[in-house]
A and B are shown apart, each in its own frame.
Chain A
Amino acid sequence: MAQTKTYDVIVVGAGHAGCEAAYATAKMGFRTLLLTLNFSNIAFMPCNPSVGGPGKGHLVREVDALGGLIGRVTDLTHLQMRSLNTQKGPAVRALRAQVDKRRYQEIMLSIMEKEPLISLRQGEIVDLQQSKGTAASWRLQLSTGIILEAPVVILAAGTFLRGTVHIGLTTFPSGPQGQHPSISLPEKLAEMGVRFRRFKTGTSARLRRRSLNFEAMKEQPGEETPHGFSFWIPWKPRLQASCWLTYTNERTHEIIRKNLHLAPMYCGAIKGVGTRYCPAIEGKVVNFPDRPRHQVFIEPESAGTDEVYVAGLSSSLPEEIQEEFIRTVPGLEKAEIVRPGYAIEYDVVAAEQLTPYLQLKEFPGFFCAGQINGTSGYEEAAAQGIMAGINAGLYLKGKKPFLPRRDEAYIGVLLDDLITKELDEPYRIMTSFAEFRLSLRQENADLRLAEYGYRYGLLSEAEYEHFLAKKERIQQIQTTLEKTAFDPRSAAGRKVTEQTGITLQQRISLAELLQKPEVSYKMLQEVYAELPPANDEARVVENQIKYQGYLAREAKMAERLRKMEEKQIPPGFDYNEVPNLSTAAREKLTRIAPLTLGQAGRISGVGPADLSALLIWLEARMKR
């Protein structure tokens, strides 16, 4: 008899989704096994060594606000922090970090190891059964014969499922960066009835730092006063490392164009669908033939190695061609390739099988998170990981799933898009996807989500108290601004007038004064001693005051959305009953089976006429 081990939750895959998921279920009190093909590769970053940016940075802040890990670990392991879009407005300001990949893995591993309810195991699944009648309903067998059982499985297998790597016309089964692919698991899942699609992604070559000539590139140093992601750990900036900027040129493009017949994306070798979001250099050259140059960033991979990442030159051309075109770039003339760039094709779970809280509709207790759901990026994976974890925990507790709305969080946007958009390429979050962009700012992520994190047990009492105290301070700033009158004749008032040229007849509060575009909180803080420094807390208040008109508009829109979200569509609803749906809408609604009328409306191909027909029908049905 093979040995059987039982858990509450088994997380398959220890990448950015898997770690967050395991941590969440453990924090919710469930015995969790984190299972991975290779223990050395926990929380590995197979692509660029960077976390954050517009949209992505917002996700990091939100995961952190819920009590997740990506923000903390990034803070602890960053090599450089940058604030992006500082001049573009409050909604799109975002942090972006260069991280030390190796340290990131070490810290994440130590967090997993320290968590009492997390068990860790390396192993390859060769069989997967849904056992009936017992409490533990999923039964996994490892190649070593070990049997694992749990009522919940969270599949976070990244790009490993039937991974196929392409470099030029060379093709071989592989996970990312030379790791072992997962072959049996997808077969078992397919037998079970899970449907897959084939997606494609890629990465660029890694170079040896000492083979590069940095004189010929432009240095991009870190900031003087960098900021961190996490709301919960004290921010300690580390020594800021530099990145370097250089450019491709016509010669680079010429080489690429000449060798397109060797590019798997262009010669038909790759059938998986690639992304527009991180195009390979081949794609850029083909699609934008008029561009004389493209940016290339050299980014450090780790303080402990001499390996550097080449952002902007992702390619799956043969290795010698990669070397040839890389060497046309100023500063890279003598570049030595450590690892070649490649394209990878892999299986993703066709999204219509998922609920928005990431459970497979047909298989209770089976959740999927991360790149396996068709997203790209560490941040998107982490966000799904924590959501799958929380919802798996709620499932075990017999509670209602947790699903932030689109007006509450980028996480809500991501999950909603995932099931309503019918991805035809890997999904990368963008701020443009968020119709409530101004409400979903990075600095108010904790105000939006920390309550949930605490309620579900991911945030500790201490962290929650820290949060309540912060909320209190924010309220205090608001009150001070509202209560303090602006007196143009006072010393402080005169200073403000001097700086802004504002002259006022009637007395107004500082809050009202702050609504004027010429006035900033920082300016007021410098002359009014009672105001605390212009930090993130003050920024929350400043943004809320300055943009209250727009925020009110978003709130009104959100109200309308909420009403549509409240109109539930009964499970198993037969769309053939509804007359007057367009054929396309009927087909898509049947396939995707949205939970609410709101979701139905966001499915492309479902028009307003379909929606009103559906609404009328649902209402009529309710009356009957």
Chain B
Amino acid sequence: MFEETIVAVATPPGEGGIGVIRISGPQAQAIGERILRHPSGKAITTWPERKVRLGVVLSSEQKIIDEAIFFFFRAPRSYTGEDVLEIQGHGGQKNLELILSAAMAAGARPAEPGEFTKRAFLNGRIDLAQAEAVIDLITAQTDLAHQAAQEQLSGRLSTYLRQCEERLLAVLAQIEAALDYPEDEIPDLDREEAGRTIHDVAEDLRTLAVQAEKGRILREAATVVLAGKPNVGKSSLLNRLLGEERAIVTPIPGTTRDFVAEISNLQGLPVRLVDTAGLRETSDPLEQEGVRRAWRWVERAELILVVLDAAAGLSAEEERLIEDVRGKKRMFIILNKSDLPPRLTVAGLPEKFSGLPVLTVSAFSGEGLEDLETKIREELVGKDFGRGHPVIVTSLRHKEALERAVRYLQNVTAGLRDGLSEDLLTIDLRAALEALGEITGRTVSDEVINAIFSRFCVGK
């Protein structure tokens, strides 16, 4: 069905060990023949299915990039239903990028996000619900996100929505029964009570939709940017939060020239931490570029940690930075280097910053860091997230359907209040149920009829 052969790294970025490159499409074998060799250097001519084989990967200049294990899957018995070549190389980002570019030079194009799954779906290897859940699984990089994806798969969301549907159906069935059987003894609709029910359901669905926003953060990882003057300890903090020496730290101001972005697991929440070049006026063109990029990250961030050096005090530039960012973005003020004698304390901050959250930490001793993690997590997804609410919606499609349902239900509550006739009330009530049906897969028309006849004794 598809002419193009696609390639991508199949393991999440930023993880050590091995990395998997997946190539799918009609050219998969031809590409393999170009970029893979026996360890002896001989060309590979046979492509048995599903066999573990050892080889070396060549760059377009025929240089050996890596030693690798590879598998070949012939269509349609592969994940995507097409010819698939999987190469397991050594994990580092750089290394994988080299293999990627070799595959691209040999004729593959980079895959769009989720494209393998899309092909798998279109070629009949998986169904839509599976496809969605898998896409979420792929992007789920930490425990909590993984759990949400699992829940969606196992139908906890469906069960929860089922209860909402039932409550709506009870109201709808009563209206419909009376409309279709005007001469039977159906109790009159208690508009107030029905209004309350509908309102409650709408609230529940809205909560779910709001949670879905957090579900998105789970899936896509929120961006948290460390910004501040040179030498305040941004890179040190990044390393601390990541738990590895990722960024270079020196006592020389202006050490970080380009940004460093890395996915981190903050108490189960995936967060993209970005360390940036220290913000200052400079004539060095390289550093200027770094500062420009730092500002761009500030624009894109969901949360900004403005790092100050507590041992140094607050400069006018830093004051301006805080003024600049507040109101535009969510931010924390971080007083770093709390292990040194303080020049700047929480109390010592200017009056005008009194409303802002301030945390005192030491990248050096680790003091206050756990608290910082907790505060970041709470800021992004709330205190009870992942504990209180029974289900988490992570699919954008579901979130949209929930929001639509809520809007229709708001029309119904308004209609009930304003004395709208019952045949018109059903229009929005049904529309809401249909929106939920897009998630749960249930057909409203059948459900209503069943509800009518199971609840009311009608017909002569």
Residue from the list B179, B438, B453, B459 in contact with A92, Cβ < 8 A: B179
Expressed in whole angstroms, the Cα–Cα distance for A582 and B441 within the complex equals 13
Contact A88 to B441, CB < 8 A, known contacts A288-B457, A314-B460:
no
Contacts of A517 in B (CB 8 A): 418-419
A84 adjacent to B182 (CB under 8 Å): yes
A579 adjacent to B445 (CB under 8 Å): no
Contact A553 to B457, CB < 8 A, known contacts A607-B441, A609-B129:
no
Residue from the list B182, B448, B449, B453 in contact with A88, Cβ < 8 A: B182
Contacts of B430 in A (CB 8 A): 435
Question: Is A318 an interface residue, CB under 8 A from the partner?
Answer: no
Expressed in whole angstroms, the Cα–Cα distance for A550 and B415 within the complex equals 13
A297 adjacent to B180 (CB under 8 Å): no
Contacts of B443 in A (CB 8 A): 604
Residue from the list B126, B421, B449 in contact with A432, Cβ < 8 A: B449
Q: Name which of B117-125, B215-223, B226-234, B244-252 contacts chain A.
A: B117-125
Contact A278 to B460, CB < 8 A, known contacts A88-B422, A432-B179:
yes
Complex: chain A residue closest to B431, CB-CB: A553
Expressed in whole angstroms, the Cα–Cα distance for A293 and B452 within the complex equals 19
Contacts of A91 in B (CB 8 A): 423-424
Contacts of A396 in B (CB 8 A): none
Q: Which residues 268-301 of A sit at the B interface, judged by CB distance below 8 A? A: 276-279, 284, 287-288, 291, 294-295, 297
A54 adjacent to B460 (CB under 8 Å): no
Residue from the list A87, A432, A613 in contact with B176, Cβ < 8 A: A432
Complex: chain B residue closest to A610, CB-CB: B127
Size of the chain A interface, CB-CB below 8 angstroms: 50
**1/0 per position for A77-105, CB-CB distance to B under 8 A?**
00000001101111110000000000000
B423 adjacent to A90 (CB under 8 Å): yes
Nearest Cβ on chain A to B118's Cβ, whole angstroms: 11
Contact A438 to B427, CB < 8 A, known contacts A579-B123, A579-B124, A613-B124:
yes
Expressed in whole angstroms, the Cα–Cα distance for A288 and B441 within the complex equals 30
A89 adjacent to B457 (CB under 8 Å): no
Question: Is B1 an interface residue, CB under 8 A from the partner?
Answer: yes
Residue from the list B424, B446, B449 in contact with A550, Cβ < 8 A: B424
Residue from the list A85, A89, A295 in contact with B185, Cβ < 8 A: A295
Expressed in whole angstroms, the Cα–Cα distance for A612 and B126 within the complex equals 13
Question: Is B178 an interface residue, CB under 8 A from the partner?
Answer: yes
Contacts of B427 in A (CB 8 A): 437-438, 550, 553-554
A608 adjacent to B445 (CB under 8 Å): no
Question: Is A515 an interface residue, CB under 8 A from the partner?
Answer: no
Residue from the list B128, B179, B459 in contact with A85, Cβ < 8 A: B179
B457 adjacent to A294 (CB under 8 Å): yes
Question: Is A580 an interface residue, CB under 8 A from the partner?
Answer: yes
B460 adjacent to A311 (CB under 8 Å): yes
Question: Is B323 an interface residue, CB under 8 A from the partner?
Answer: no
A616 adjacent to B122 (CB under 8 Å): yes
B interface, how many residues as a size bin?
35 or more
Expressed in whole angstroms, the Cα–Cα distance for A435 and B129 within the complex equals 27
B445 adjacent to A433 (CB under 8 Å): yes
Question: Is B183 an interface residue, CB under 8 A from the partner?
Answer: yes
Question: Is A531 an interface residue, CB under 8 A from the partner?
Answer: no
Question: Is A55 an interface residue, CB under 8 A from the partner?
Answer: yes
Complex: chain B residue closest to A436, CB-CB: B427
Question: Is A25 an interface residue, CB under 8 A from the partner?
Answer: no
Complex: chain A residue closest to B189, CB-CB: A88
Contact A430 to B124, CB < 8 A, known contacts A437-B423, A608-B441:
no
A604 adjacent to B446 (CB under 8 Å): yes
Question: Is B184 an interface residue, CB under 8 A from the partner?
Answer: yes
B128 adjacent to A48 (CB under 8 Å): no
Contacts of A582 in B (CB 8 A): 127
Question: Is A547 an interface residue, CB under 8 A from the partner?
Answer: yes
Complex: chain B residue closest to A313, CB-CB: B460
Contacts of A279 in B (CB 8 A): 457, 459
Question: Is A622 an interface residue, CB under 8 A from the partner?
Answer: no
Expressed in whole angstroms, the Cα–Cα distance for A92 and B425 within the complex equals 12
B124 adjacent to A276 (CB under 8 Å): no
Contact A608 to B457, CB < 8 A, known contacts A89-B421, A547-B424, A620-B1:
no
Nearest Cβ on chain B to A311's Cβ, whole angstroms: 4
B460 adjacent to A90 (CB under 8 Å): no
B128 adjacent to A612 (CB under 8 Å): yes
Contacts of B81 in A (CB 8 A): 579
Contact A54 to B459, CB < 8 A, known contacts A432-B448, A579-B123, A580-B127:
no
Contacts of A53 in B (CB 8 A): 182
Residue from the list A89, A287, A604, A613 in contact with B423, Cβ < 8 A: A89
Q: Which residues 428-448 of B sit at the A interface, judged by CB distance below 8 A? A: 430, 438, 441, 443, 445-446, 448
Contacts of B124 in A (CB 8 A): 578-580, 613
Expressed in whole angstroms, the Cα–Cα distance for A88 and B441 within the complex equals 31
Contacts of A550 in B (CB 8 A): 424, 427
Residue from the list B129, B184, B424 in contact with A438, Cβ < 8 A: B424
Residue from the list B182, B448, B449 in contact with A54, Cβ < 8 A: B182
Nearest Cβ on chain B to A224's Cβ, whole angstroms: 19
Expressed in whole angstroms, the Cα–Cα distance for A255 and B459 within the complex equals 21
Residue from the list B128, B181, B183, B445 in contact with A609, Cβ < 8 A: B128
Expressed in whole angstroms, the Cα–Cα distance for A262 and B197 within the complex equals 44
Residue from the list A84, A92, A432, A437 in contact with B183, Cβ < 8 A: A84
B419 adjacent to A580 (CB under 8 Å): no
Nearest Cβ on chain A to B3's Cβ, whole angstroms: 13
Complex: chain A residue closest to B427, CB-CB: A550
B180 adjacent to A431 (CB under 8 Å): yes
**1/0 per position for A504-538, CB-CB distance to B under 8 A?**
00000000000001000000000000000000000
Question: Is A341 an interface residue, CB under 8 A from the partner?
Answer: no
Expressed in whole angstroms, the Cα–Cα distance for A54 and B186 within the complex equals 15
Contacts of A312 in B (CB 8 A): 460
Expressed in whole angstroms, the Cα–Cα distance for A431 and B175 within the complex equals 12
Contacts of B422 in A (CB 8 A): 88-89, 92
Contacts of A276 in B (CB 8 A): 453, 459
A430 adjacent to B449 (CB under 8 Å): yes
B128 adjacent to A435 (CB under 8 Å): no
Contacts of A291 in B (CB 8 A): 457
Q: Which residues 395-444 of A sit at the B interface, judged by CB distance below 8 A? A: 430-433, 435, 437-438
Complex: chain B residue closest to A580, CB-CB: B124
Contact A88 to B421, CB < 8 A, known contacts A276-B459, A608-B438:
yes
Q: Which residues 289-335 of B sit at the A interface, judged by CB distance below 8 A? A: none
Nearest Cβ on chain B to A191's Cβ, whole angstroms: 36
A431 adjacent to B179 (CB under 8 Å): yes
Expressed in whole angstroms, the Cα–Cα distance for A295 and B186 within the complex equals 11
Nearest Cβ on chain B to A434's Cβ, whole angstroms: 10
A54 adjacent to B441 (CB under 8 Å): no
Complex: chain B residue closest to A616, CB-CB: B122
Contacts of B1 in A (CB 8 A): 620
Contact A85 to B441, CB < 8 A, known contacts A579-B123, A616-B122:
no
B179 adjacent to A580 (CB under 8 Å): no
Expressed in whole angstroms, the Cα–Cα distance for A438 and B427 within the complex equals 9
Expressed in whole angstroms, the Cα–Cα distance for A287 and B454 within the complex equals 9
Q: Top 3 nearest A-B pairs by Cβ distance?
A: A579-B124, A89-B421, A580-B124
Give residues in A with beta carbon < 8 Å to B.
48, 53-55, 84-85, 87-92, 276-279, 284, 287-288, 291, 294-295, 297, 311-312, 314, 430-433, 435, 437-438, 517, 547, 550, 553-554, 578-580, 582, 604, 607-609, 612-613, 616, 620
- Cross-chain pairs A/B with CB under 8 angstroms, 30 sampled: A48-B460, A54-B180, A54-B182, A85-B179, A87-B421, A88-B179, A88-B182, A90-B423, A91-B423, A92-B423, A278-B459, A279-B459, A295-B184, A312-B460, A430-B180, A431-B179, A432-B180, A432-B448, A432-B449, A438-B427, A550-B424, A554-B427, A580-B121, A580-B123, A580-B124, A580-B125, A608-B128, A608-B438, A608-B441, A609-B128
Give residues in B with beta carbon < 8 Å to A.
1, 81, 121-129, 176, 178-185, 418-419, 421-424, 426-427, 430, 438, 441, 443, 445-446, 448-449, 452-453, 457, 459-460
Contacts A92-B180, A554-B427 known; 9 new A-B pairs at CB < 8 A: A92-B422, A276-B453, A279-B459, A432-B445, A433-B449, A438-B427, A580-B125, A604-B443, A612-B128
